[in-house]
Structure 1
């Protein structure tokens, strides 16, 4: 069953979850091919499965395996020899699919050139089906328009349903609405049409029926479980840092408090250097195998910078509120946990949450960049005059 886990793995592998890449980055693992970037306009000719993730994705060509695509704006014109999985805000399918199609989006459309030889499972706010389906069709949406030939059965759950001139269902048409509608005979004969009225109790049953093989939306408990795992990860990370490098951690924390503006600028410089290593390593040709390692390093440093920034800001607030100058390790971990929870709640505020998280990352990476520069240049110590007395500013 497909759950988009592989797409998420591709995003993490390529570092797309941590920053917007200016150019398309691609890598291979076995017969799998991964693409990530800000905007992807790619002609593919791949042997195995293909994974693509970006803000805007336009893909054409052909792939011999499965095609997995996710983004805000998704357009698939590629022919897929196996299954196609697409997830996005706006999704348009134009290519032919030799096996099954599973797609979800706020606005979802399959065009007449998109012929699905297997089953099609579609979900969205607005769903328009113009591409013929040789197998069964399952649709869940607010407004559904069917204007294509369906060789197998069709099951549709919608608030509004309409049929275009090319709509034909050769199998059984089962539709679920609040009120029964008149289905034209040209779409399906009366004895092959089943109406199931939508009620509060039936909605969830229909959801499970339609979305068996669709990417599932996370439940509240799964979201809370994921947050708990993330919080536990940062607490373990904080405990390791406090245990193995307490003095260095304290020094970096104080550097943020003493010069936040300078540290923020150093964070921009450090992050720019990290991302600049990707094309530089790739251009050496011999360094191409190391590009995934560089991307993984970006993810690791981004995570460490986020934890360090959150911890430093939280400790500054702790001291400002009259907390102990040298609290215990347990108190430090509790301060870090409170910071992670507070920043996570900020994510529910549009734009503000993103800015807060990104600022913490820059502060943390800036402190690490300062430490690296100081270790490379050495500590000049106190400047003395010829009489071995400190020089006054």
Structure 2
């Protein structure tokens, strides 16, 4: 999950320059952040990389992890760490020593992955060995290589090539039982477990009614309710938002400061702009989906909407944290420590307020929309409303 937010951060940091033809970059030690229309990372000796653009090409080997976001993403250099990638088309063409987490319309794994593969794609092809486990969600999944560990499927169609092998347990989530057929050459029947979408064995419905009826017919008592979990999910969410807000404020201080002033200084304008921008992105996604060609582009609009909303929430919570500090007598954050404090206070405060029934949800919606509006004003206004 942290790497997924890292890929989002790669796109967010590059958002201000993605409309430019020339790539721009920021080097922090051995790490590099790059954004632009067409990105080619061919610098030697890099550790972690954060790349975002329409075309993203990682060509040289890196010693750390790769966080990639774009329309067409190519991994043509060996990665010693993990890979986190989002795009319309993602291709892994050189070995990855760690894990690969990817979301795309079309995913191709043509080089060995030493760790786990976590993938979500409309069309997915695995033509190289996977050293760990695999979690695969898609419309069409094709496997023609060995997967050493366990595999979890949720796909309409699964095809196996002559070189396909699965060494561990297989769990298949199906709407209708036995939709996915696994040949004996791939795995033995005792490796396979089939579940309904609810997670109950052979329950074909979302709520596991078949499993409940079977328990009642057998005279078994109802399962005891599970104890309430500790609020670790809430605390983890607050921590992730605080870290992302602090990183964004440190890496892009002037841009974040301008967006924060837009939220606090002209909240009505930010809210209206955010509403129009989010509506436009949603509308464009629907219109694209209505056309044959647009079906291939619609995932990019969906990705843009997700990034805009996440970035809007981060900016909104950061602005709330600055407002709280100002209310207690603090000024504008000038140091990295003050920026991190504002991000943490904002993430915690907004997170607690969001727990209030109905009102908290509305507050979250308004704050995220205001943040999205501030982002749109910062990125688009110089181009759409430039004088002359």
Task: Note whether the superposition's TM-score is higher than 0.5.
Answer: yes
2:282 alignment partner, one of 348, 352, 375: 348
Pairs within 5 Å for 1:1-393: 1-14=1-14, 16-17=15-16, 19-111=18-110, 114-177=111-174, 178-180=176-178, 181-198=180-197, 199-201=204-206, 297=254, 303=259, 334=268, 337-338=271-272, 340-350=274-284, 361-362=381-382, 366=386
What is the aligned length? 256
Deviation string for 1:301-335 (max 9, x for gaps)? 6x59988xxx8xxxxxxxxxxxxxxxxxxxxx657
Q: 1:12 to 1:166 in 2, by over 3 A?
A: same
Partners of 2:86 and 2:104 within 8 A in 1? yes
Q: How far apart in 2 are the matches of 1:294 and 1:191? A: 52
With the length of structure 1 as denominator, give the TM-score of the two structures. Answer: 0.56
CA RMSD of aligned residues (A): 3.9
Deviation string for 1:220-264 (max 9, x for gaps)? xx9xxx9xxxxxxxxxxxxxxxxxxxxxxxxxxxxxxxxxxxxxx
Q: How far apart in 2 are the matches of 1:186 and 1:336? A: 59
Per the alignment, in what secondary structure is the counterpart of residue 350 of structure 1?
A: helix
Q: 1:304 to 1:19 in 2, by over 3 A?
A: farther
Q: 1:298 to 1:340 in 2, by over 3 A?
A: closer
Q: 1:9 to 1:360 in 2, by over 3 A?
A: closer
Partners of 2:10 and 2:67 within 8 A in 1? no
* Superposition deviation, residue 63 in structure 1: 0.3
Partners of 1:84 and 1:101 within 8 A in 2? yes
Q: How far apart in 2 are the matches of 1:339 and 1:298? A: 17
* Superposition deviation, residue 4 in structure 1: 2.8
Partners of 1:110 and 1:130 within 8 A in 2? yes
Q: How far apart in 1 are the matches of 2:268 and 2:25? A: 40
Q: How far apart in 1 are the matches of 2:273 and 2:83? A: 41
* Superposition deviation, residue 74 in structure 1: 0.8
Per the alignment, in what secondary structure is the counterpart of residue 62 of structure 1?
A: coil
Q: How far apart in 1 are the matches of 2:117 and 2:182? A: 21
* Superposition deviation, residue 152 in structure 1: 1.2
Q: Which of these two proteins has the greater Rg computed from alpha carbons? A: 1
With the length of structure 2 as denominator, give the TM-score of the two structures. Answer: 0.56
* Superposition deviation, residue 60 in structure 1: 1.5
* Superposition deviation, residue 295 in structure 1: 7.3
Q: How far apart in 1 are the matches of 2:251 and 2:154? A: 46
* Unaligned stretches of 5+ residues in structure 2: 198-203, 209-236, 242-248, 288-300, 305-372
